[in-house]
Chains A and B, each alone.
Chain A
């Protein structure tokens, strides 16, 4: 059975419905990427999975348990952690305090985990008492990911981790993401850098206007002519030369 199973999910804000029955799944150990045009509901899907947006109908199961009606803090405790697209650090808190907040529900001694994070992201480890608000975009993104990793998640949801970063920084973020996956964390990714993301993904989904459009293996989606035309743009050569070797 899949680790995360979203079936026929309907969700929205107020009177507007954004997702009209979306189904996706993530298996243990996989990297799965969701792509789609701006405003099609990718972020809404993630927010519905982690409980920030109400699930109106359909089901979300995680490790076999129905989490569709759980509040966000309970979902986080069950090992499903999430990095939002924007505003994903606590700006007035220091780096160390951000990580402590990531470990809020842990009652054990998590200093070892924090040291691991500082090893994985040396930029953070070098100045742990700096306020997160004063970090650069790339460092913030690293801190956001580290914060979400503090709970040792089984599944990590990343909403556009490479958005707004310099090309060099994008490569390094993707490299970390691969490392996290190698360490045994399953990943669900939303990405604008579709080409790079799909090339390292096991599978991918194309979402459009709040509905499933396509689903296939990462490489297959990359080779799909329609996907290439609609979502990957014509910059194949440039992006490929950018991607990490």
Chain B
């Protein structure tokens, strides 16, 4: 039991963990070198993986500390994307800030201003929902599935809200076409993909530093390990939980914006549809482990993208699901979870 917790909540990076990453990353690109696999798909998959990682790390943090599967996580992503759209199209354009094609990117500088505001709003909203809903349920001592059930309700309501305000049709941020970068091996990278990768990299590093260096980050790991011991050590676990919601939702919102930028459109169902890759990545890596989620996301991203060489691209979520099922059969605790 203790061993299980140890394993599942393991965050610190061990020697083998770095090696596994190296093997997986090099393995993926070696895959791209094979004559029958397009390197372009591998690169695309890595970028998709970066978006999945940003979402899945938040999901797994929430799982580790609050102990339930946040079904609304995808809809936090959707909210992030639509709030950005709202700020860009509403407030900022009213202030006369209208532009597209910032630097090499398709979107304009207003999007860069709107992004942190939207992310902060979603984070604040997630904390407010904890106060209004989840904290009450926790105090009542309900089981994890009831919390997940409540988050399903939240997911439905958020989706409804998005559709009321923005309708069910596809929307997109103001954009201007930009030339794609041509790399060797017939790899074409749209400039926005570079933005996506840079933001994801920065966020993953920030999460890593927070969890290993910041006092609150360490307290989050401690609470994930053993909430009661955290309490008697004087840690205010309610605050830890709010930080977790804040971080998790901020990551989700950013993932949503990145996805909207990467796909050049947004739909109210985008987050809900993204739940499968998110959970597949988190479970693949060992749920509760942010590091595992990162690796899991990379595997899911590359695998589902490369699969499109042979099968219909719209099956990508099904491919992620298939990998998840195989993983659950072979090693239910995930790559970085050990036995319990």
Contacts and interface: CB of A to CB of B under 8 A. Distances in A.
A–B touching in complex (CB under 8 Å): yes
Interface of A: 50-52, 71-73, 75-77, 81-82, 84, 86-94, 97, 100-102, 104-105, 131, 133, 147-148, 151
Given A91-B5, A133-B6, A97 B233 contact: no
A91 B6 contact: yes
Contacts of B333: none
A101 B233 contact: yes
Contacts, number: 89
B59 to A, nearest CB: 18
Nearest to A81: B232
Given A73-B231, A131-B12, 7 more contacts: A84-B228, A88-B229, A100-B215, A100-B218, A101-B219, A133-B2, A148-B233
A131 B5 CA distance: 13
Interface of B: 2-3, 5-6, 9-12, 215, 218-219, 221-222, 224-226, 228-237
Contacts of A51: 231-232
A92 B219 contact: no
B218 A93 contact: yes
Contact of B232 (A82, A91, A93, A94): A82
Nearest to A88: B229
B228 A52 contact: yes
Nearest to A157: B232
For the complex of A and B, list the 7 residue pairs with the smallest distance between their C-beta atoms, beginning with the closest: A91-B6, A76-B234, A133-B6, A105-B234, A72-B231, A90-B225, A90-B222
Nearest to B237: A73
Contact of B218 (A50, A101, A148): A101
Nearest to A147: B233
Contacts of A87: 2, 5, 226, 228-229
Contacts of B230: 90, 101
Contacts of B9: 91-92
B10 A151 contact: no
Contacts of A88: 229
Given A72-B231, A91-B5, A101 B222 contact: yes
Contacts of A71: 231
B264 to A, nearest CB: 40
Given A92-B9, A97-B218, A104 B2 contact: no
A94 B219 CA distance: 12
Contacts of A97: 218, 221-222
B233 to A, nearest CB: 5
> Which of A50, A89, A91, A147 is packed against the most chain B CB atoms within 10 Å?
A91
B190 to A, nearest CB: 39
